[in-house]
Chains A and B, each alone.
Chain A
């Protein structure tokens, strides 16, 4: 697809995280009823004030984040908001690296519902995919008009921009986003897909996503970040999972090597609800991800499967938090991370069990694999348990490839490089195996394999 098809439907402004840019973006949004206007101007101003007031993570509370976010440079990007009509959703998004990828079809929204963004511009297909008519998938701004109360009950309710500096920035400059609503009792077989492809020019993209599952509903939502350019993605995802509902939320981040992606995600689970996160951080030069799960209803449960693999100069900060607020809630967190070359990573795993969360059961398993001398991964588990009759387990390892495994594979004729690659891929498998479809599992395996290749080529 030629890049002209991605032309912005409105003028962009040069982005900077300053008051003047905020006022220009507010003025820009007020000129139209654009989908980007999902946040009221006064909320944007409040959020921006918080952004300025809050310290950058890593600058002072240095131990929690590997990267010093005060050094994060955001000037020189463009901020825009718009929508672009297209005849049909692109089967193969414009990003170069996907052209020859057989799995690229998976990235289209064609066989399910979804939204496709290029930069902050949402592509509006004339032919809509065969979405279950009971289900709503809309740009967030449209949803504010059609589902105002539902949106208001979740948006900015789970992630507090008063305390989270990047959530404040995302709220102030919100320029795209999605609303997914699966009413009570509706169970979807096919996943809903939200794609964020980078625009040809370096852009500042601030998506805010709201997912609401009614009681007993079931759905899989896949959030993808793809493309090559030097974008800055700063967003929030807030999910409400009703009683007995089940949400699989997949986030696959394959942004370009010079992209920065800072995303906070949080889910609130009612009684007996199931929330499963599946996170693969594979791209971007710098990625900072927080995943919070609030088990607020009796018997709610959560699974967190997360992996990241840093090669080259890549840097990932990942934090997961599970809050056991009520009794008989369960959670299982599995994190697998690896780093090669000069890759840097830090994982913070928090489990919080409140005094009244009797009979709860939490496990946290976190393993890191270092594939080069200059790679570095920190692992910081933190369990805060205030109830007595609970089960809580945590285990963490950081290590390199085991010599005996290597010798065993080599003794079978498998060359050292191939053996290392096989063992490293196997290392990720406990997290990969939980991804909710074979197509996704294979896609993640292929991506990990390609990253191992890149590292081998550089070596």
Chain B
């Protein structure tokens, strides 16, 4: 029987032939929340894009397995169909394509016989409520002219609607005010309480521990220079909050980690 979980094994990846990920081992179990923290440039987003199959990120070694299946060279849409979701730090705008049309198309692709149009409508309205979003958003073009906060809320709306097995949230908290951050937290927590989202495993990538006040992490990993240098419980996030990354960087440099 296949193991359940999202597993990164000795993952190495290049961007424009520069090695960014230098051997990542990480295992996200169903229903658990892992936080991946680290300073800018440590490779967190590269990990996210490599997992989602972005063509500019070349995996040079190691594997990413979703419930035991190697994602290997799968196209990004096949990865989504397998149950992976990436919330983008900077989601692309798609002018001329309405939010409703986009999410419906994605939903049909990922869950082919799931929802009738009426149920789809009911579900999306319920989730808009949790995110404190106006229904008028459904008629707007995807991320076109959206504020930073609106973009992140739209990512959360898609996350809730697509109910993936594993979700990677890349800097979802960056640039958000307190209200938006709370809405994001509410949405994720609401999803985790639902039948569809109870078993979703989360990898929350963040620079600051702020979002972890709203979404409780079970495990916290610290990433420096393409490697995970420390793993611990939620208290590790508080340490970072107090001391920043310098201490860990010094420890890593001294070979203590």
Whole-angstrom CA separation of A208 from B234 in the bound complex: 78
- The answer, among B53, B54, B96, B162, for a CB contact under 8 Å with A426, is B96
Tell me the smallest distance from the CB of A315 to a CB of chain B, in Å: 25
Q: Is the interface of A mostly helix, strand, loop or mixed?
A: helix
Instruction: Determine whether A429 belongs to the interface, using a CB cutoff of 8 Å to chain B.
Output: yes
Q: Are B77 and A419 in contact (CB under 8 A)?
A: yes
Residues in A neighbouring B109, C-beta threshold 8 A: 412-415, 418
Instruction: Tell me which residues from 301 to 332 in chain A have a Cβ below 8 Å from any Cβ of chain B.
Output: none
Residues of B within 8 A of A429 (CB): 95-97, 141
**Which residue in B88, B91, B94, B158 is a CB contact (below 8 Å) of A423?**
B94
Q: Is B249 an interface residue (CB 8 A)?
A: no
Docked complex Cα distance between A430 and B101 (Å):
16
Indicate if B135 sits at the interface (CB-CB under 8 A).
no
B204: interface (CB < 8 Å): no
Q: Is A18's beta carbon under 8 Å from chain B? A: no
- Interface residue tally on B, bucketed by range: 20 to 34
Interface residues of B in 64-93 (CB under 8 A from A): 75-77, 79-81, 85-86, 88, 91-93
Q: Does B55 contact A (CB under 8 A)?
A: yes
Check: A372 CB closer than 8 A to any chain B CB. no
Could you tell me the distance between the alpha carbons of A403 and B56 in the complex, rounded to whole angstroms?
10
Residues of B within 8 A of A404 (CB): 92
| B162 lies within 8 A of A402 (CB) | no
State whether the Cβ of B146 lies closer than 8 Å to any Cβ in chain A.
Answer: no
Q: Which residues of A contact B54 (CB under 8 A)?
A: 407
Inter-subunit contact B77/A408 (CB<8 Å): no
Contact of A414 among B53, B77, B85, B92 (CB under 8 A): B77
Q: Provide the bound-state CA to CA distance between A283 and B63, in Å.
A: 50
Contact of A413 among B93, B97, B110 (CB under 8 A): B110
Give min CB distance, A143 to chain B, whole Å: 41
Of A403, A405, A412, A414, most buried by chain B (CB within 10 Å of CB) is A412
Extra contacts, 18 of them, besides A412-B106, A414-B77, A415-B77 (Cβ < 8 A), are A402-B92, A403-B55, A404-B92, A408-B91, A408-B92, A408-B94, A412-B109, A412-B158, A413-B77, A413-B81, A414-B106, A416-B77, A422-B101, A426-B94, A426-B97, A427-B95, A429-B96, A430-B96
- Chain B residues close to A by CB (< 8 Å): 52-55, 75-77, 79-81, 85-86, 88, 91-97, 101-102, 105-106, 109-110, 141, 158, 162
8 nearest A-B pairs in the assembled complex, by CB-CB distance: A426-B96, A429-B96, A413-B80, A412-B106, A410-B76, A413-B109, A426-B97, A413-B110
